[in-house]
Structure 1
Amino acid sequence: MKKFSIIALMGVAALAMASCDDYELPNPPAQSNPEEPVFETDGLKLTNIVEGTVDLRALQSEGKSVGLFTFELTDFPSTSKLTVVAELSGSDNFNGAATVPTEISGDSICMSVSELNAAFREKISKGVDARSVYVRYAAYATNGSESVRLGGPDYYYASQEYSVLPLLPERLLDSKYYFAWSTDGSTWSTENAVEFAHSETNVYDDPKFSVTLNFDAATVGSGMFWKIIPGSTFDSGSFDGLTIGVSPENENIDKGALVEGEDTEAGIYTVVGPSLFNFNIEALTFDYMVAIPNFWMAGDYVNGTSWNDGKFAKVMWTDNYTDYVGLAHIGSQFKFSPVDGWSGDFGVGEAVEYVTGENGITVGTGVADGGSNISVPANALYYIELNYATRALKLTQINTIGIIGGFNGWGNSNEMTPSEDLLTWTITQDMTEGDEWKIRMNNDWTISLGGQFDNLWPFNAPNFKCAETGTYEITLNLGELPWTATVVKK
Structure 2
Amino acid sequence: MKKLSLYISIALAGLFMGSCSEDFKDWADPQTNPQEDAITIPGFTATAAQAIDFASVTTDSVNTFSLSSAALPEGFTLGNARIELTPQGVENATKTTVNTSLDGKGAVADLASVVESAYGKRPTARTFDAQVYVNAIKEGQAVLIDAGKINLVMTPKAPFIDAAYYLVGDMFTTDDVNGWNTISDKQTFKHSDKDVYEDPIFTITFETTKADQYWKIIPKANVDAGNTDASAAGVVGPKVDGEDSMTGSLTNGDAKAGKIAKAGKYKLTLNMMDYTYTFEEVKYDPFIYFIGATDGWKSSDQKLALVDEAKGVYTGYVYVADPNGAGLQFKFQRVAGSWDNEINAGAFVSFGGAATNENGNIGVNAGEGVYYFDVNLSEGTITATKVETMGMIGGFNNWDGDAVMTWNAEEYCFEATNVGVTADGWKFRVNGGWDINLGGSLNNLTAGGDNITVAGNTVKLYPTRKTNDNIYCTVE
Q: What range is the shorter-chain TM-score in?
A: 0.3 to 0.5
Q: Which protein is richer in helix relative to its size?
A: 2
Between structure 1 and structure 2, the one with the greater Rg is: 2
In the superposition, the TM-score normalised over structure 1's length comes to 0.44
> TM-score scaled by structure 2?
0.45
